[in-house]
Each structure stands twice: as C-alpha cells, then as structure tokens.
Amino acid sequence: MLFARRARPSLPQRLRIAAWPRRSFRRSFVYYKHRVLRLEASPHAIAAGVAAGAFASCTPLVGFHFLLSFALAWLIGGSLIAAAFGTAVGNPLTFPFIWLSSFQLGEVILGRSENSVSPLDLEFSVDLMWNSFATLWPTLKPMLIGGVIIGSVVGGVLYVLVRSAVLVSRSLREARLQAAMESAAALRHARALDAATALRTEAEVDVSKSVSAAKD
C-alpha cells in the first residue's frame, strides 16, 4: 500500500493517543464514535464497556484507569475494547472538572477536613508522588467518594445512550444491506427479463424467416 503506516504504534503509544489525541478532540470524538459503533460485540457488551471506562475515568486513581475499566468491564460482561474507548471520557480537558466536582461532592458527603486540599491546588510533581499516603488521603478520600457517585451517573447515562446508538446503527445498517440486496435482486430480475425478451424476439425473427422461406 502506497500510503500505509510504516510502523504500527505500540500499546503505550495507542494509550497516550487515546488520552491526548493528535487530532482535534471533535475529530477524535467522531472517530471513537464510529469505532465503538462498529465493534463486533453485543449492544450490552459495548455499552457496558464504555460505561466501565467512563466510570474508571471519574476516579482519582490516575494511572490505573485502564486496569480498573478492564476489571469492571469483565465483571459486568462488557467489551474490553469498548472499555478502553470509554476511558477517553477522562482527558486533559475534562479532568479538572471531574476532579474538582468529585472533591466537592465528596466533601459534602463526608464533611470538610482541615487537612484536605483542593486537587486543583495540588502541585503535581515527582515530589508529590513520594508524599506519604496519609498526607494525600484527606484529599483523595472525598475525591474517591465523589468520583464513584459521579462515575456511576456518567456510566449509567452512557450505557443507555451507547446501547441505543448501537441498536439504531445496526438497524440502519441492516436496512441499508436489505435495500442493497433488494436492489441487486431487482437488477438481476430486470436483466433476466431483458435476456428472456431478447431470446423471444430472436426466436420470433427466426420463425418469421422460416415461414417466409417456406412460402418462397
């Protein structure tokens, strides 16, 4: 192939592209939509996989979203590929809103802790990764509680939307296939009629010639 990709991206590269696409987010959304709708799985499996990925992306467990989405998708009978696509819900544009809303919701439920710090105020660096769990827990705890609730809502909504979209897409595809088959059958029938008409005309001409020859 003249314009084929020279080397297939590695798994880490594909995961990075899923989180931060090279193209615009709008084009990536359209791309993901078509890929998800064309997955070879049941509507439930596709929708459950996307819901699992979306749920995982709403948790503060950054770095474990794929593993969490795969485990959850496996438990509820979802597609692992769809789960990978579902994690695209969490991306550099949505993470600040997800983290802040989950943190605030968690604080409403648990009550505000004196040691908690808004996730947007944390300075994400290598030093932060080495901080003790006890230091981060006052912030992670409300984020985890709020993230589970938000993730459940987002996942539930996406399950309904994706399942409906898959059913509609497959129905339209079957209708187009049926129309194409009927059109092909009608074309074959028309060609058969034309061939039969041509043969009948040719036979009538031959008979006419034979009658004329007999009269002569």
Confidence check: pLDDT of 6 > 70:
no
Query: How far does the chain reach from its first CA to its final CA, in angstroms?
Result: 68
Within a domain: residue 31? yes
How much is the pLDDT for 3?
A: 46
Cα dihedral 15/19/20/22 (nearest 10): 50
CA neighbor of 56 nearest in space, from 88, 26, 81, 28: 88
Is the C-alpha dihedral spanning 157, 163, 166, 169 positive or negative?
negative
Within a domain: residue 110? yes
Range of the domain at 28: 11-169
Confidence check: pLDDT of 120 > 50:
yes
* Confidence class for position 213, pLDDT limits 50, 70, 90: low
Within a domain: residue 65? yes
Cα dihedral 38/43/44/46 (nearest 10): 10
* Confidence class for position 193, pLDDT limits 50, 70, 90: confident
Within a domain: residue 51? yes
Q: Which two tokens stand for residue 57?
A: 């992306």
Confidence check: pLDDT of 38 > 90:
no
Within a domain: residue 113? yes
Within a domain: residue 17? yes
Within a domain: residue 141? yes
How much is the pLDDT for 119?
A: 60
Within a domain: residue 199? no
Number of domains in the chain: 1
